[in-house]
Amino acid sequence: MDSNRQSVTIDSGELRIEGSLHLPEETARKAPGVVVCHPHPRYGGDMNNNVVLGLTNRLVRDGFAVMRFNFRGVGNSEGSFDWGGGETDDADAALETLSLRDEVDGSRIGIAGYSFGAAVAMQSAADSTLAQAVAAIACPAPQFRAFSGMEILQPKMFVLGDHDHNFPADQFRFLCRRFADPRRDEVIGGADHFFRGSEPLLGEMTSEFFTTWLKR
């Protein structure tokens, strides 16, 4: 993954946000791209999280350009935690930065997120015209319930572990049915909220989803 990694700076309003751009092996045409959002900063979440790195590895291997980044106030990113509002601005800025790269096809961009980052990714997709598909992994139950009443038109994939301590799987499946198609929902057996050991399966699911919608 490191051989094609570039450190980038994302301008989010007046803040400078730290990011890493990962490019696939050279292809004959511009690559589709995916922005990946990390879990809650106040619980140690950053762009080096195990799920974020697992998604990045698999997506890059399968031909995607991937932008992972630290939300405001995390690592070398300027600013401070903003309870989701400013973080959504950061995700929007990451989408725009990725879409403008010469190596990337700006018409084939998706966004993915894990836990707190999943809620940010869904809000960004609801607000943005850049994101063509969204993958939300272990979105917290209160935010997921709120999003189920919103109109998110892009293709969506939702993933939960069946041992998630804050979100019963049957409630998750019920709420998934409130979202409009196209929609895919998956429950991973034996996984809790942290997905230790399930990173390869998460990467495979996410890559299959974005391949379907961004490589057609």
Instruction: Supply the CATH number for residue 126's domain.
Output: 3.40.50.1820
DSSP 74: S
pLDDT number for residue 185: 98
Is residue 157 within 8 Å of residue 136, measured between CB atoms? yes
pTM score? 0.97
Kindly report the number of other CB atoms within 10 A of residue 70's CB atom.
21
Mean pLDDT by 10 residues, the chain (216 residues): 84 98 88 98 98 98 98 98 98 98 97 98 95 98 96 96 97 97 97 98 98 94
3 state SS of 105:
strand
pLDDT of residue 41: 97
- Burial (CB count <10 Å: 0-12, 13-18, 19+), residue 39: buried
| 14 three-class SS | coil
Which of 188, 197, 214 is CA-nearest to residue 132? 214
* Domain residue limits at 139: 2-214
CA distances to 61, 86, 89, 90 from 14, rounded to whole Å, are 34, 11, 11, 11
Interhelix angle 199-214/50-61, rounded to 10 degrees, is 50
Indicate the number of domains in the chain.
1
The per-residue pLDDT for 3 is 56
